[in-house]
Amino acid sequence: MSKIAIALSLTVCALSAQTNASRVSGPPRFDLTAIDKSVDPCVDFYRYACGSWIKSNPIPPDQAMWGRFNELADRNRDILHEILEQSAKGGAGRDTTTQKIGDYYAACMDEKAIDAKALAPLEPELARIRNLNDKAQLAGEIAHLHSAGVWALFTFSSGQDFKDSNAVIAQFDQGGLGLPDRDYYLKDDPKSVELRQKYVAHVARMMELAGEKPDRAKAGADTVMKFETALAKGSLDLVSRRDPEKVYHKMGKPELAALSRAFRWNEYFAATRAPSFDAINVSYPEFVKTMDSAVEGTSLADWKTYLTWQLLHGSALMLPTPFVQENFDFFGKTLNGTETMRPRWKRCVDYTDGDLGEALGKKYVEKTFGAEGKTRTLKMVDALEKALGEDIDKLDWMTPATKQQAMVKLKAITNKIGYPDRWRDYSSLAIKPDDALGNSLRANEFEFHRQLNKIGQPVDRLEWSMTPPTVNAYYDPQMNNINFPAGILQPPFFYNNVDDAVNFGGIGMVIGHELTHGFDDQGSQFDAHGNLKNWWTPKDSEEFHQREACIADEYGGFSVAPGVFVNGKLTLGENTADNGGARVALMALLNTIGSSTSKIDGYTPEQRFFLSFGQIWCENARPEALRNLVLTDPHTPPEFRVKGVVENMPEFQKAFSCKPGQPMAPVHACHVW
């Protein structure tokens, strides 16, 4: 979607999401045993903070990477698992929330029933595509697929107007690819070429599983590759998509129609049952022209092949075992290096969270999150906001005029902690105990209409875009708010009973990170009201961009494999947020504890702060997953999230007595916020 979501850490994709139950025991303590004292912290602080953890926590075979986020997600998932097993027992007297989550989970877990039905539940959808007899019917069918969560050709939803954050308008975005990003279709290094060959083989096998003869499946896969490559060529790259001005083209329906005469827009919009609207943001008009050629120049037979593939791909997770296995073999194993599939219950817990997140989340919160957690978090948010205010005030590169605007924006940031004040109403969504695929398709339909029905309505400022058990947090530039799900307000981010230094290095840094997103390469372009509007003097803007360029260069020098570098521009916003977040979290800590230097476990408060910060990022990752990550994820791999920050902090160098010129104390440091 063109909505800019700025999260602390992305799960790479649903297929490589995270867990290993065998590791679950109580919440880990602030972890002195993670440290590797044989390493000099001034030479490699990441190895110093995490070295022993890294050695004693190999990646489980069913994971692409394994870190502290995963440990916590595992503990949360165990709680969800218990809730769902209980809810699935059925019987009279279940409330409707329990019925929905219990039946969804039970249907998902019933692999035998799913396998026994084979492709029968998908057959009506396959038949619709088979029975198309004219390209004039394409728009209606694509609308139908979109409502089922199958994003063929493009995506359509709603979102706040970038330049009028009180208005919700229609949103059109590029899409229609099976691989994670357009670059996978366009790069011609040997790895990319090999990956494409394997993708084509995967598409062919999925078609064979759906009953196609091998030679026709092979030809069909080539058709899909050709079609998706054309869409990829017409798509905007990820770095450009970070610039809000480049993805904002508000227009009326006639202007959209002029970009593609071949696509029957009126039929499409009518079939989506979207409320009537005048304004639509077309993220990248060039893509619509590409789409036009695709509609014009592709035969009906080839369209059927492409749509069938997209349908199989989009529903694979709820299909019989051979489809699930084939889907994992490509997206889990080939793309991310994961060796084995996760146990079914973990996947079904995640799918329930994905489709009924605020029903399951309500039960999770009742079990886990008390008023105390909210109060303590709010106190830390206050401390962090105050510290960021002081930081802005002290900046030597910004003039008073811009500082004043920055303070207006900072003061306007609102926060949401734990869970929604008003829970989503799923009463119109039918969930059956024996219809896994149907439940998933209906949940997608529910979500599709929920999004479209916002068009023309007042903005819902109570809404969350993450579910309560999620181990993550986000800043929303159009809402100008920061959001912390209950799932992350736990160890190793937040402890009820450790010294402040550890909590400020953990959740304090997370809060600082989200606040700083309001002032990164994207956030800085939105004002206090969430509108895309310049509030900078030209001189200050230039100074800002110079300092951002320093961060982009620094991170662009980090290498994850020979010849494979972090993309400094793609990760610029996250790295800015990490650097600003750590700096203001440390300021907030020092404001809180005063000049206390008393040691605990042999470490000063500052040292414990940096160790806590470093240790939330302890992780092992497979080379395939890292390669995938640097291509698609705006977050830098964990090792460099830690090094990249401490290298820029004189406070770190002082805390560990590093000498200028040592690897963690380079002569040229970057400083934005």
Catalytic residue set: 514, 578
> Residue 359 in 3-state DSSP?
helix
Count other Cβ atoms within 10 Å, centred on residue 44: 18
Shortest gap between Cβ of 484 and Zn ion (angstroms)? Answer: 12
| CA–CA dist 151, 142 (Å, integer) | 8
> Residue 483 in 3-state DSSP?
strand
Shortest gap between Cβ of 475 and Zn ion (angstroms)? Answer: 7
| Of 259 and 413, CB closest to Zn ion | 413
Shortest gap between Cβ of 648 and Zn ion (angstroms)? Answer: 17
| Of 8 and 64, CB closest to Zn ion | 8
Shortest gap between Cβ of 361 and Zn ion (angstroms)? Answer: 21
Burial class (CB within 10 angstroms; exposed 0-12, middle 13-18, buried 19+) of 496: exposed
Q: Which positions touch Zn ion (CB under 5 A)?
A: 8, 574, 577
124 prior amide bond cis, ω within 30: no
Shortest gap between Cβ of 429 and Zn ion (angstroms)? Answer: 31
Q: What are phi and psi of 397, to 5 degrees?
A: -100, 0
Q: Smallest Cα–Cα separation from 656: which of 608, 613, 616, 620?
A: 608
- Tokens linked to 300: 């009906």
| Of 470 and 607, CB closest to Zn ion | 470
Long-range contacts for 29-38 (Cβ within 8 Å, ≥24 apart)?
A: 29/491, 29/495, 29/498, 30/491, 30/492, 30/495, 30/498, 30/502, 30/608, 30/612, 30/615, 31/492, 31/615, 32/601, 34/615, 34/618, 35/611
Shortest gap between Cβ of 577 and Zn ion (angstroms)? Answer: 5
Shortest gap between Cβ of 510 and Zn ion (angstroms)? Answer: 9
| Of 66 and 475, CB closest to Zn ion | 475
- Tokens linked to 131: 């029975």
- Tokens linked to 424: 């989503």
| CA–CA dist 587, 172 (Å, integer) | 42
| Of 71 and 574, CB closest to Zn ion | 574
Instruction: Identify whether the C-beta of residue 35 lies closer than 8 Å to the C-beta of residue 597.
Output: no
Q: For the CA atoms of the chain, what is the radius of gyration?
A: 25
| Of 352 and 571, CB closest to Zn ion | 571
Q: Alpha carbon 407 to chain centroid distance?
A: 28
| Of 143 and 645, CB closest to Zn ion | 645
Sign, CA torsion 71/72/73/75: positive
